[in-house]
Structure formats: structure tokens, C-alpha cells
Structure 1
């Protein structure tokens, strides 16, 4: 740990965990301590650790051809595209292949700017879309933005997430090219909008010819109990961004959109040396092939089990404000700062995430068992109850 701290730029909140190996939803550190992983590599390990099909696909591709630039054709890329076309919303079948979620957002920003005579972008309060310059321009948090104001896109306006009144700003503004939104906000604290709000947002953007971009990097691929989180609201966006779990642990992202928009990117305007590389394509195909209806239905059921178990254990907690989520995208909002509770839970053998200053966030692998979910809920509840005792009524 000390060697990493000496040589790695200090840009991450480091945890006191030195991971050695993992299987399914369980991690072990170098001392053999067991953790139930409710972090999932920030939502990347959707199929858990040690997935045999992903491993076999990657090894097979490595022995065939491990790298081929996107200017060359490969069978692995063609297979991935065919698989991807089978799961994206109908009509969103033109793709840009990248490596990270932020890269997918950057491509989407370029697409909407090239596709409209207007260049104003609407984003949402509490949004998170990444930290590269374009993505950071539509990410709300001032703590990420404050040092880089001169680099950010100027023509961006933030409206309140899930606020019907603020939709009037879109109605009355004729300079908007696109609206970027998360169907369920992740880093913002697992915020779930009202169905009426999302449907009204879609109707307004359709009426005004504004491109609607759904950031599904964290909420997509079955995370909420449906393939795409926007399906919960009965809408279809014009562009979606995909990342995290799509590569099975290999860096991979996708910007998927209607050809009428995606085709506006000219040659050379967006490219990546390793975007669409064969190993990522093989791993991505192995992931998609395992995202069955049964698995995604299990995600919905397991999420209900997790939240209901937490609510049972924490029914009398004074410091829990709300337990919420969709599928295995869940949050515990506290009435106190999360850090001491968070560190105590890690010490007890569960690895969660966090949002803001008072929210515990969970993005576990879909393959987590019911027994592991129940155990994780019990351990987290014990950590919260332990802190309850230190807080005056």
C-alpha cells in the first residue's frame, strides 16, 4: 500500500483493503480476510469475479489476434456489434466504441453538437457524467469543476433533476441542442425520478426536436432489473451511453444512437487507438451472451430482498433517513456523515460505496447469492446500529 501511495497520483480516496483475489461476489485480501463486495469495482463487475466464459473468450482472442486498430476489420468486432444490436433499444444501432464511460459521453457531446444548429446543452443537478473536460462540463458537482472552469464548455445549463417546473425552461428555450440525463442517478445518491417527469421530459424534447441522451453507464445492462433503466419509465432516448460492466472488466464503452445523429461525426472527429480492440470485443460478447432475461429478473428480485432486509433490521434506526433503489442499484441515506459508518462496515467484512457526505451506495455483482445479500444487509445494519449508540436521540 505504501509503495502505491508514494508513486500513484493522489486522486482517489483509498480504502484500507489490499485485494488478492475474488470469486463471484466475494473478495479476499492479502491476509485472507473475506469481504462481500457491494462495490463491484464501481459497478464494473456485474458478472462477478472469476467468470469462466469471460476468461475463456479473452484467452481465445489473445491467442488469435489481441489488438487490431478500428481502421481494420475483425471478426471479434463484428460479433460484438451483432450481439450489441440485439440488446440496445430498436433503432439505436449505430455505435462509437471507446474505452471508458467518460469517452462515451465525450463522443455523445460531439454527436449532438454536430447534429443540431443549436449548441446549448441541458444537464441536471446532482448529475455525474465523468471528469474529462467535456464530460465534466455536464457533471454538476462543484468540487470536481471548481479548479477547471476555464476548460469547461460554457454553453451548459443545469436544471433541477425530477423537477416538473424546470421543464418549462426547456419548453421556452429555442437554443437547446440536447438534454443529458441519468434515468437513475448513481453518484448523485441513487436518485429515482418520477415516471411522469421522465415521460414529460421525453415529450418536450420530441416536440422541440431536442436530442435526448440517456447516460446508462451505471444504470444500464440490467443493473436496475431491466436491461436499460429508461425502460422503467416507458420512453426511448435518441442516444444512450454504455460502460462499466459491458467489458466484463476489460475497458470498453459504447455510444449508441440513431444513425441520423451518429452519422454526423466525420472521419477523424472522434477516434481511439484501442477503442473496439479484439480482446475487449470478445469479452463484451461474453458479457452480453450472459445477460439473459432470467439473470436480469433475478437482479430485480435480489434488489427487493436487499432493501427489505435492510428495512427490517434498521426499522428503529435514528440515523437512517431512507433506504431506496432499483434492482441492485441501492442507497442508504443517513442523517449523519457516512465516513465512520462506512469504515466500520468495511472492517466488518462488507465493501460498499458512498455518495456525497451521508449516503452509502451499493452496486454489487448480479451473481451475488441470496444468502450473501442477507449477510451483507445484516453486517451493514450492525455497523449502522453500532453508530446509533454513539448518537444522542
Structure 2
């Protein structure tokens, strides 16, 4: 790999994977690895899914890319399908290529409609790779919700709270990442989020649900925001909706779509509303619904969470947090984290190494037997420390 520039900050552990199927990838020696990161949390239906591959092949031989003045009916069918599962009946959608793009266009539309200047998110959110959302030194307000963790009144949180009173009145949009917290899996209190949404809305701002990592069944519901009592104006969808293919979507609810009709908004890029990506989205949604993977993700997630929690000993694993099939294991120190991480890879299990934590995001198709084998392997490695 001398000519490939790797700049993600992650160490390349297995340089030549040549086959994949379901939860598993295989190197050139034929060694199999259970991929409990789902790629970069993208392959929600598993690697090399034959049904999704069939959809890709069919669309490739029809039409893969469109221009600005012609399209294909799969866009309408796919749009109605994703809007339906999101509860955005009669809304609209824009198909793009990455989660960062879906968030970016949602922010642009919000600012266009509200004519306000400040974007707001929680202090530990990750919103994407664009400089416009990485550099938060100007026209951003980061709400630090850490004090809420120890607040004795959080269940009865109201707008008199000092944290809430600091929200700028000229907030254009509140971008809510419901639980990923930059990959460290923290779940803000429902009462806090409800109050933030109400304040921003009362001031004329919009609500954007950032579902790039928490959507498509990852949290045991179609979208992570559905664990909260809120109704967003926009939903940014990415990762699992393409099962590894680079497609994302910005969803717009009905009332906001009507606003955009009255106040036209322009945004264009070469692969906007491509039929290939839209056909994959349609197929992924059908597959999830036919296989009933959302309730399975919830049930198997509860099983895995219980098993992981049994490993907490405050000496090696200090805390486990999870919802659906999204988990983090906080580890006592980075040395122990690396020992567990490398031990799992040696035994054929891939998880995410977050320095002080291990991240686990298995495909929605994971079985109870596969959960058991992984947890048993982790127990053995842990017991050898």
C-alpha cells in the first residue's frame, strides 16, 4: 500500500481482504474475521448481500447516472419509501453521496429559510468531514450538556435551566445527533432535548436530526430521534442506507418542503438524485422490512448489552453503554484497550478502537449464536490480562 494515502488516523491491520459475506471478511490466507464495525458502520445488511447486489446489477444495465433535465422513476419510488419509514408523509428528499453532504445541505436549507446565522449542536457531536462543520469557531453554539449528567432535576427539566437560557435567539438550526456522540455512545436526557427543540422552534429555528450513524435500525428503531419526543424538520441519512454503497439522503418534512416551494432554494452537484443510489435505498428498506430487522436489532441488542454489562468489573471494563446494536465499552486505560483490540483481531473479530474505548456496531443480521461466540472470545482475552 505504498501509493495509497491513508489519513483517517486508524492503523491498517489487515491490508488485503479478498472476499466477504454477511458478517465476515476473508484475507488472502483464507482467515475469516467477524466484522463487528460493519465496515465504517455502513454494511447494515452485511457484506456482499446477494439481494442488494442483484438490485445494483439490474440498475447498472438500465441507468446509473442522470443529468439535470432528466431522471428515472426509481427516485420517486425510493423517496416515498424512505419518507414513509421516517414518518415524513408528503415530504421531499434529496439523494446525495455522503452523510457529510446530507448534513451540509440541511444546514444550508435551514439558514436559507430562517435567515438566521448561528448553528447549534451538542458539544460532543460529530457532524461530518466538511470544514464548514469541523471549524466551529465562528457562527456556532456548542451546548455543553455535561452538567445535565449530574442534575437531580433532569427528569423535570424546564426552560429556567441555566444551560438552556444560554441558547442564542438567532439560532438557525439545532443539529441533534441522537446517541452517537462522536462515536462514544452517550444518550442525552429526553427532557433536555425536548426543551432545546421547543426553545429553538419558538425562536424561529429548525431542527435537523443527524441520523448518519444512528439511523437505519442502528438503535433498535428506524431512526435514533424516535427515542425522543421530537419531530425534526430535516433528517440527514447516511451509512447503512446504502449497505456500503455511497448514498445519503436529506429528508424534508411536509411543512418545510412547502416553505421551500415559496422560497426557492438552489443546490446542485454531479451525483445529486442518481438512480443507482436511489435503487439501492429502495432495496435496503424492502430488505429490512421483509426480514423484520428493526425489532430483531432491538431484541438482539438487548441480549448483547446484557452480556457486555456482565463483563464490567471496574478493573478492565469500567462501563458499557448501548442502544439497539450500537455499543461502547469504556476501558480502564489505552494499554488495556489495545490489548483487547489486538487480541480480538488475532482471534478473528473486528471492533472499533477508540483509544479509551471499544466500539461495537454489528450488522443488523447478526445472530444470537454469533453474539455468543464474540462475547466468549472477549471473555477469554479479558481473563488473560
Q: TM above 0.5, one fold?
A: yes
1:174 maps to 169
**Counterpart mapping for 1:196-345 below 5 A:** 196-262=191-257, 264=260, 269-292=266-289, 294-312=292-310, 314-316=311-313, 318-337=315-334, 338-345=337-344
Are 2:144 and 1:160 aligned? yes
CA contact (8 A) 1:96 1:107 kept: no
d(CA) in 1 for partners of 2:284 and 2:206?
29
RMSD: 2.2
1:19 maps to 17
**Counterpart mapping for 1:344-363 below 5 A:** 344-355=343-354, 357-363=355-361
d(CA) in 2 for partners of 1:316 and 1:114?
51
**Counterpart mapping for 1:37-186 below 5 A:** 37-91=35-89, 93-137=91-135, 154-161=138-145, 163=148, 165-170=162-167, 173-186=168-181
**2:29 aligns with one of 22, 31, 34:** 31
Q: Deviations over 1:159-179 (max 9, x none)?
A: 113636422212xx3221111
Q: Deviations over 1:175-233 (max 9, x none)?
A: 21111121112534011122222222222223222211110111011111111111112
Give SS of 1:331's match.
strand
Structure 2 gaps of 5+ residues are: 149-160
Using structure 1 for the length normalisation, give the TM-score. Answer: 0.87
Structure 1 gaps of 5+ residues are: 139-151
CA contact (8 A) 2:171 2:203 kept: no
d(CA) in 2 for partners of 1:205 and 1:243?
25
d(CA) in 2 for partners of 1:175 and 1:85?
29
1:142 maps to none
CA contact (8 A) 1:57 1:286 kept: yes
Q: Deviations over 1:338-359 (max 9, x none)?
A: 333322221221100133x311
d(CA) in 2 for partners of 1:133 and 1:269?
21
CA contact (8 A) 1:212 1:239 kept: yes
Distance 1:363 1:250, change over 3 A: same
d(CA) in 2 for partners of 1:88 and 1:311?
31
d(CA) in 2 for partners of 1:90 and 1:268?
20
d(CA) in 2 for partners of 1:333 and 1:326?
15
d(CA) in 2 for partners of 1:381 and 1:166?
41
2:363 maps to 365
Are 2:187 and 1:189 aligned? no
1:379 maps to 377
Q: Deviations over 1:243-284 (max 9, x none)?
A: 011112211111112355455498784222112212111111
1:145 maps to none
Number of residue pairs matched?
A: 366
d(CA) in 1 for partners of 2:119 and 2:300?
37
d(CA) in 2 for partners of 1:32 and 1:259?
51
d(CA) in 2 for partners of 1:245 and 1:277?
17
Using structure 2 for the length normalisation, give the TM-score. Answer: 0.89
d(CA) in 2 for partners of 1:244 and 1:92?
24
Give SS of 1:361's match.
strand
1:317 deviates by 5.6
1:158 deviates by 0.9
1:55 deviates by 1.1
d(CA) in 1 for partners of 2:124 and 2:357?
13
d(CA) in 1 for partners of 2:344 and 2:182?
19
Distance 1:214 1:31, change over 3 A: same
Give SS of 1:64's match.
coil
d(CA) in 1 for partners of 2:40 and 2:324?
16
CA contact (8 A) 1:252 1:276 kept: no
d(CA) in 2 for partners of 1:124 and 1:212?
13
d(CA) in 2 for partners of 1:26 and 1:327?
20
Distance 1:360 1:165, change over 3 A: farther
Q: Which moved more, 1:214-223 or 1:85-94?
A: 85-94
Give SS of 2:86's match.
coil
CA contact (8 A) 1:98 1:104 kept: yes
